[in-house]
Amino acid sequence: MKKIVGVLAAAVVVAAFGGDAAAQRRGERRNDRRDRVTEAVTGWTRLGEHWVHGGADQDTVLAGGSQGRFRRVRIKVEHSALEMFDVRITFGDGSVFSPPTRLVFGQGSWSREIDLPGEARVIRQVQFRYGNLPGGGRAQVELWAQ
């Protein structure tokens, strides 16, 4: 596991600092390149993201069915701290799964792996209910699946 993390860290550094000008001309963000490297090294797929603009609120990340079938999800929060109260996952067949959730994220932190019920499933959307922590700013919530 330590070797994988080391390889991932090296790949992220190369992706983050190599070819910035060419990537910007193609309309990519630095995070897009980092996410592709993370997907290639870890096997996790980034399904979507949403920016949290402060206060208690709820938002939805639309995943669609084109990304495949998944058995587990993780949540990543970047740029600010965030408290998440509820997660509601809607699958391709319309069924819903709400894992028990009350998570406090520091900037740049991940949730635990959340196993989905049953076989691998298409994820249509995930709804989050959250609130920023004091001193926080805009947070970016990312949904990853495997």
Residues 34 and 19 reside in one and the same domain: yes
Question: Could you report the per-residue pLDDT of 50-88, keeping only the tens digit for each?
Answer: 888 766 788 888 887 677 899 999 999 988 888 898 999
Checking if the pLDDT of 107 tops 60, the result is yes
Indicate which CATH number applies to the domain containing 93.
2.60.120.260
Residues 28 and 86 reside in one and the same domain: no
Residues 27 and 71 reside in one and the same domain: no
Q: Distance between CA 110 and CA 95 in Å, rounded?
A: 25
Mapped onto helix, strand or coil, the DSSP state of residue 11 is: helix
Residue type, 21: A
Question: Could you report the per-residue pLDDT of 119-135, keeping only the tens digit for each?
Answer: 999 999 999 998 766 66
Residues 50 and 107 reside in one and the same domain: yes
Backbone angles phi, psi at 3, to 5 degrees: -65, -40
Give me the pLDDT at residue 31, please: 66
Residues 83 and 141 reside in one and the same domain: yes
Residues 102 and 69 reside in one and the same domain: yes
The tally of domains found in the chain comes to: 2
Give me the pLDDT at residue 43, please: 82
Residues 118 and 95 reside in one and the same domain: yes
Residues 60 and 25 reside in one and the same domain: no
Residues 19 and 89 reside in one and the same domain: no
Q: Which residue has the tokens 């995943």?
A: 63
Return the higher-pLDDT residue of 43 and 74: 74
Residues 63 and 108 reside in one and the same domain: yes
Give me the pLDDT at residue 36, please: 72
Mean pLDDT, rounded, for 82-95: 93
Residues 95 and 108 reside in one and the same domain: yes
Residues 49 and 22 reside in one and the same domain: no
State the residue range of the domain holding 37: 1-43
Q: Is residue 53 a contact partner of residue 136, using CB atoms and an 8 Å limit? A: no
